[in-house]
Structure 1
Amino acid sequence: MVKRSLARRTAESAWGLLLVGRIVLLSALVLLMLAAGVWTSWKTAQHVMLTKGREQGTMTVSACGADTCTGPFVPKGLGSVRGKVTIDKAVTHRAGERIPVAVKPGTDDVVRSGLAGVLHAWVPLGGALLLAALVLAGGLRWPRTAWTAAAAGAALLGAAFLTL
């Protein structure tokens, strides 16, 4: 058994604490980024994924501004025809397009429904996964986990791009 001085043992213990602190801090940062991505995504995804009892139908895009598009809404089943509803411009392509949508309760705002709507709703999580991959690879030095997170984020963003 090799005896080490008190100063060396103290320095080694301090270094170990710094390493553990780095892992804890960066792991908390990764969890915070992923939680923010899920939270932001869920604000839209809940209207697309939990459709029972929500008003659904088709919107015909008539005009687009800088960030939003507007147009009339025709319900699929029971509900009232609305002369003007608003949707995010990112989920539309051109005026005259007919889009399946779900109405946010209590508003005249709609979100795209179907697979394209679900994927578009989860885009913030895809971005959070890509950002988390950088911290996982660079800060925590977990390359396999980082590649997995980056692949999942890129797949989600790519699928959303392709379906819209």
Structure 2
Amino acid sequence: MTLIVQPTTTAPALTLRPWQDSDAPSIVAAHRDDAMRRWLMRPIDDEDEARAWIADQDKGWANGTHLSWAVEEDGTLVGYFVIKAANPPETLATGVGYWTAAEARGKGIASRCVQTAMQWLFSGQDRMPADEIELLHTVGNEGSCRVAQKCGFALDSVLAPMPPKFPHEGHRHLFKRQA
């Protein structure tokens, strides 16, 4: 399934498309960025790890636990976007996640993807029904906090660390569908 993020007056359209094995070199290149690696739970160091990660994304589609897309701008891979099914007690609502390659940051890509996903999630589709969406990030990840604010998410709570997977405090932002 492909989603299109509409262009704005200052930014071209984005294409959210399925991952391909040919994306492995671009994934490795994006994961070399120290700023991004700081926030990642699963850094990728080589093409074998990238292909294994792509296979995990395919499994997520197959079992309905997460729907993951490569984000392209003008044919260039610029990011990753995912919608995750609720997974109590770790997550209580449908969640969104993302990363943006260093050279593409600051262009509103993540927030535009989140807004498009919100429209899709609340459109009556039956692939992953949702009444609320959560956006989780590590405290200190100011870029993700800005995305949440820009997209209308409310800060719901500060989460305690849960080592080893989440060694630092986190923010839980929520957006609830309007009745």
* TM-score in terms of structure 1 length: 0.26
- Bigger Rg, which one: 1
* TM-score in terms of structure 2 length: 0.24
Q: Which has the higher helix share?
A: 1
